[in-house]
Structure 1
Amino acid sequence: METNKFVAGALLLSVAGLISKILSAGYRIPLQNLTGDIGFYIYQQVYPIIGIAMALALYGFPTAISKLAAEKDRISFKYFMLPILFILFLICGTFSFLLFVNADAIATKIGDKQLVFAYQLASMVFLIVPFTALLRGIFQGKSFMKPTAYSQIGEQVVRVFVIIMVAVMVSYGGWDLYRLGPAAGIASIGGSIFALCILIYFYIKDRPSSFVTYTIPWKEYGRTIIVFGLIASLNHMILLILQFADAFTMVPSLIEYGLSPTEAMEAKGVFDRGQPLIQIGAVLGSSFGLALVPAISRKGTIDRYRETSAQISGALKISFILAAGASIGLIMLFPKVNSLLFQDNQGTLSLSILMVAVVLSALVITASSVLQGLDNEIWVALFILSAFLIKWLFNIFLVPHYGIIGSAIATVLSLLFLIVALVFRLKRIMGGEKLIQMKWIGFVLAISGMVIVVWLAELLIGTYDLSRFGLLIYILIVSTVGAITYLSLLVRFNVFLDSELSLLPFGSRLIRHHRRM
């Protein structure tokens, strides 16, 4: 019964996370449409900081607190909640203070002094994190996932609503574009407060704490929150951390490339068009593979690594296959996708290069989650920080010579380094076993079939000058037919095992189809 409750809760949390991430990526398209590339640039300069706070509040700290809460029969308000709240405030308050007092220096470093107030407001988001993280962690520790799921979706809905309303006022109400910077902070603060209200409602209703007494294990609390809260949360910040490097290095490097400050900001906004597409592609590409990670985690805790080889191979294989199809499809259709979503073809070449990051980031998310399930959090953190350094250095070296194409190459190279490092670590744990066991000829034939279908559609219809609505219909039809062709050929050539097919949408039908072949 307890296991069923845990599985149902984990599923609810996964669905809420998927909805939240799609919302988080999807609203940026109307944001860019309403405010243009300069408006999008302003928002994206602030967003990585807010995103890091959200990742700590949603994933990092709650995971650590849930681990501590699960070990307690009863949760003490005085001896559990207050000490952990104090530790969280110490960490988040330090982040908030450093960001607030250095807002002017940060804005100067990135080359846009008008963002000082935006960074100061963004620093305030960290002060709400301790409350939301504490309550989420306690509920999750008791396998009660509803509060976290509802608060996560509620927070995202409020944040998206505020941002889009401000974008509408910028577009139609004559508001200054730079109001988008502070609006990002206000939207996140509003969303966090709304999430906190939902969590407090569940806390009052369910009363998970009591007035038991025991010695406060400060060392255990502190170590768990730092290791599992800060280090483990890096897995959820991979794309954010790379965007953080872009926020600091791109505009100065683009000015060095020869653009004026305004042109550099607009070019950065054009480059940022790729972020929501990478995020959606990576999330969808990794979600089904990640369904195997809980099994890996359970076995990893007792050091039975070799027994997990089938699950690890399956997780990486599914993520690779789905993300590779999405990545290649996006590259082929990108000129039209760019026009459909962002109203023009600016930056098509650099953004097409950037779409390689879809498959790389899906693999990175899956591989790093597997390694964390095998208690390798420190290694994952070191690899991610190394990838951030590589991205930063390549931006400084490539962007002054190649513009935003240089930054696209830097993103791909940093993610490539990261997946290679993660795979080598996994192979070492698995004793050198092959990580992705797949019928590669079948995979290549399936990809080729999809490419031919998309190429024929481009040849027959792609040359016509389509309206935006026409582009929408065209892309929906071509992507659907391409995806069906790809999936059908994968099944036809026995690329998937039945256990892997069961994780995909309409898995039972695919299995029946597979068995008839």
Structure 2
Amino acid sequence: MSGQPDSRLGKASLWRGAAVMGIAMLVSKVIGTLQKIPLQNIAGDRVFGIYNAVYPLYQLLLAAVTAGFPVAVSLLVAEREAAGDREGAYKVLGASALLLSISGAAGFVLLWAGADLVAGWIGDKGTAPAIRMTALALWVVPLMAALRGYYQGLGRMLPSAVSQLAEQSVRVAGMLLLLAIGWQLGWADPELAAGATAGSAIGGAVGLAVMGLYWLREKRERSGRQKKSAASVESSADKWQLLDEQDERNGLLAIVRRLSALALPVALGALAVPALSVVDAFTVPRLLRDTVGDADALAAFGLYSRGQPLVQLVVMVAGAIGAALVPALAAARVRGDGSGLRQHANITMRTAWSLGAAAAVGLVILAEPINVMLYADDNGTLAFALVACTALAGTVNAIAAAVLQGLGQVRGPMLFMLAAAALKAALNAVLVPPYGIAGAACAGIAALTAAALLSAVAVRRATGAAAMPARDAAGMGLALAVMAAALVLAERGGAALLGPALPPRAAAAVLALGGTALGAALFFAAALRSGGIRARDLRALPRGEAIAARLRRWRLLPRGE
């Protein structure tokens, strides 16, 4: 009886920690995604293009060095803690810190020494200073990843959450400060871009400092505590045996081997995400040089990159929705409930296609006012609208990847994205020379759509999910048509009314934000009334019955539902 409160307290603490970590990750990703907008506003499209050409390379190398290690470290630390072996947990931290520090140093040397070579691959020598500045972050970020994994293994999510928020906030603040200084001193575009990318090192240093403060405080507390009794260690012998029955597992080399074995599959999967952006960085500017010239190639690449922050934001939200829906699907799989598995998979994938289509249609119709609102002019609006089309495929990819990973199929999403990257490279070579950035955007639509279709087929095969019924598809199509018609009328009518009354950017902001709210409300209302979203779908969600009852009272659900 006495153990029950502790158990409940432990579960509550676990959920609080997960919630804190989830919120911190969401806020950090929003900051990291939207920080590109003030960068373009302050420095212009060429600096924006340099940044978008260089930063994916840093993300790729950082993923190769650190991806998977926080999870691997947290797993091994949690095992040692469960066995009552705090010294073993310290050894895991030491081994991971050493391994990641060496890897980060090697990555720094590669980027710093090879900056001119990589700039040649991109097609503009002006990117070399920015490449060197991003390399500085590799001195601090890998060690920070090791410390975050350590505290997550202890079940203490607050240090990682605080570190993430501090890192991203200071990164953006440092970027803006250096841009302001450079602008006042008259720096050239390559130097401004280098100042922007240096924010990663500044933010990483602050994030590492936060983790270091937590570590120093723990070290002081540890020095004042008595060692655990031998009986406590003996009582954990059974758990200890489950970890590894080899005596040498406490050795540094054994820990490094196990960390690498756990982290490598995750790292390979993480490489697939920035691979698509790296393909663009290494192909689009070079291909544009033949049509717009050396001086304007990266400026055009900056225009091409304008729509990406919003698409990334949509995909990030989709990934969060997918992560929220996956536990019910995984629970049905564990129970052996095939019917429940199919039902949850159907709802999850219908959500992916519906939300992705609504986001894509809305962004395409509102492309011009959004472009003006965010970037002060309508340059590159066609490419912006074409890039916005990838919101559909990106949403399906994100949610399908979450489903497949929840089912234990981690290689599928990675292979699909790598195939998409290869297809993107081939299509860039064909479409960019004649069509410029519009061709690059069309290549992205084709490549990501191919990956989305492969992912959807993989989910159907893994779960037995059926295709969307014709009646439901018709209802969703009607909802999209209602939303699109309303947005077209609102955009044209609003432009005529607001244009003479407000400055262009203010008028665009009213149209963009008002259109987004109107479009979302009309889409969901029409989807509910037309049968695109049904009561049975809502009932499968947490508190779904109460949601369905409320919507029925508001007459958004038909009476028969």
When normalised by structure 1's length, the TM-score is 0.89
Report 1:29-68 matches (<5 A): 29-52=37-60, 60-68=68-76
Indicate yes or no: 2:142 matched with 1:130: yes
Pair 1:203-2:215 in alignment: yes
Tell me, in whole angstroms, the C-alpha distance in 1 between the residues paired with 2:109 and 2:543: 45
Tell me the distance in 1 between the aligned counterparts of 2:269 and 2:336. Answer: 19
The equivalent residue for 1:323 is 356
Quote how far apart the aligned CAs of 1:503 are.
8.7
Q: What does residue 313 of structure 1 align with?
A: 346
Q: Distance in 1 between matches of 2:36 and 2:519?
A: 26
User: Aligned residue for 2:187?
Assistant: 175
1:273 aligns with 2:306: yes
Q: 1:318 to 1:11 in 2, by over 3 A?
A: farther
Matched-pair contact (CA < 8 Å) for 2:322–2:403: no
Per the TM alignment, residue 303 of structure 1 is displaced from its structure 2 partner at its CA by 8.1
C-alpha distance 57-148 of structure 1, shift in aligned 2 (>3 A): farther
Which segment drifts farther, 200-209 or 28-37?
A: 200-209
Q: Which of 282, 304, 314 is 1:248 aligned to? A: 282
Deviates more, 1:339-348 or 1:178-187: 178-187
Task: Give the letter aligned to residue 225 of structure 1.
Answer: A
Offset at residue 365 of structure 1 (A): 1.3
Matched AA of 1:243 = S
Residue 433 in structure 1 maps to residue 470 in structure 2: no
Work out the CA distance in 1 between the residues paired with 2:415 and 2:108. 24
Counterpart of 1:387, as a letter, is A
Partners of 1:232 and 1:139 in 2: CA distance: 24
Correspondence for 1:108: 120
Contact 1:155 1:194 in 2 (8 A): yes
1:450, 1:123 → 2: CA distance? 46
For residue 273 of structure 1, report the CA deviation from its aligned partner: 0.6
TM-score by length of 2: 0.83
Q: Please name the residue that 2:525 is paired with.
A: 488
Deviation per residue, 1:347-397 (Å, 9 max, x gap): 111221111111211211111122222222223222222211111221122
Q: Give 1:482's aligned amino acid.
A: G
Larger radius of gyration: 2
- Aligned with 2:44: secondary structure? helix
CA contact (8 A) 2:148 2:159 kept: yes
Confirm or deny: 8 A CA contact 1:354 1:412 kept in the other structure.
yes
Q: In the alignment, what sits opposite 2:3?
A: none
Per the TM alignment, residue 475 of structure 1 is displaced from its structure 2 partner at its CA by 2.2
1:395/1:407 contact within 8 Å kept:
yes
Alignment of 1:56-455 (within 5 A): 60-72=68-80, 73=82, 74-75=85-86, 76=88, 79-206=91-218, 215-216=250-251, 217-218=254-255, 219-228=257-266, 230-234=267-271, 238=273, 240-256=274-290, 258-297=291-330, 307-430=340-463, 432-434=464-466, 439-455=472-488
- Preserved contact between residue 69 and residue 146 of structure 2 (Cα < 8 Å): yes
Residue among 3, 12, 21 paired with 1:4: 12
Contact persistence 1:39–1:180 (CA under 8 A) = yes
| CA positional deviation for 1:268 | 0.7
* Stretches of structure 2 lacking an aligned partner (at least 5 in a row): 1-7, 234-246, 556-561
CA deviation after TM superposition for structure 1 residue 58, in Å: 8.1
Question: Aligned partners of 1:406, 1:159: CA distance in 2, in Å?
Answer: 33
Contact 2:65 2:103 in 1 (8 A): no
SS at match of 1:386: helix
Alignment partners' CA distance in 1, 2:65 and 2:21: 14
Q: 2:538 aligns with which of 481, 498, 503?
A: 498
8 Å Cα contact 1:231/1:377 also seen in 2: no
In structure 2, C-alpha distance between the alignment counterparts of 1:7 and 1:93, rounded to whole Å: 36
Instruction: Give, in angstroms, the shift of residue 59 of structure 1.
Output: 5.8
1:22-79 deviation digits (Å, cap 9, x = unpaired): 1112121121111111121122122113334665788632122223333322342553
Distance 2:167 2:112 in 1: 23
More off after superposition, 80-89 vs 363-372:
80-89
Structure 1 window deviating more from structure 2 (406-415 vs 10-19): it is 10-19
Change (3 A) 1:196 1:463: same
2:28 is aligned with 1:20 = yes
CA 1:22–1:61: 2 relative to 1, 3 Å = same
Q: Which amino acid aligns with 2:538?
A: D
Query: Which deviations, in whole Å up to 9, do the C-alpha atoms of 1:142-197 show, x marking residues without a partner?
Result: 33221222111111101111111222334444222222332244211111111112
Partner Cα distance (2:286, 2:21) in 1:
40
The aligned amino acid for 1:152 is: Q
SS in 2 for 1:376: coil
**Letter paired with 1:242:** L
Query: Do the aligned residues in 2 keep the contact of 1:125 with 1:185 (CA within 8 Å)?
Result: no
Deviation readout 1:181-220 (Å, 9 max, x if unpaired): 3224421111111111222223334469999996343432
2:462 maps to amino acid: I
Call closer, same or farther: CA 1:63–1:508 in 2, change over 3 Å.
farther
1:434 aligns to what SS in structure 2?
A: coil
- 8 Å CA contact 1:312, 1:435 repeated in 2: no
Distance 1:132 1:243, change over 3 A: same
Output the amino acid matched with 1:21: K
Q: Are the structure 2 counterparts of residues 303 and 421 from structure 1 closer, same or farther at C-alpha, using a change threshold of 3 Å?
A: farther
SS where residue 461 of structure 1 aligns?
helix
Q: Which moved more, 1:364-373 or 1:269-278?
A: 364-373
Q: Is the Cα–Cα contact under 8 Å of residues 148 and 199 in structure 1 kept in the other structure?
A: yes
Which residue pairs with 1:474 in the alignment? 511
User: Within 1, Cα distance between the matches of 2:335 and 2:108?
Assistant: 39
Instruction: Call closer, same or farther: CA 1:117–1:458 in 2, change over 3 Å.
Output: closer
Matched-pair contact (CA < 8 Å) for 1:110–1:252 = yes
Equivalent AA in structure 1 for residue 466 of structure 2: K
Q: Which amino acid aligns with 1:222?
A: S
Cα 1:78–1:165 shift into 2, 3 Å: closer
Larger displacement relative to structure 2 (485-494 or 435-444): 435-444
What stretches of structure 1 of length at least 5 have no aligned partner? none
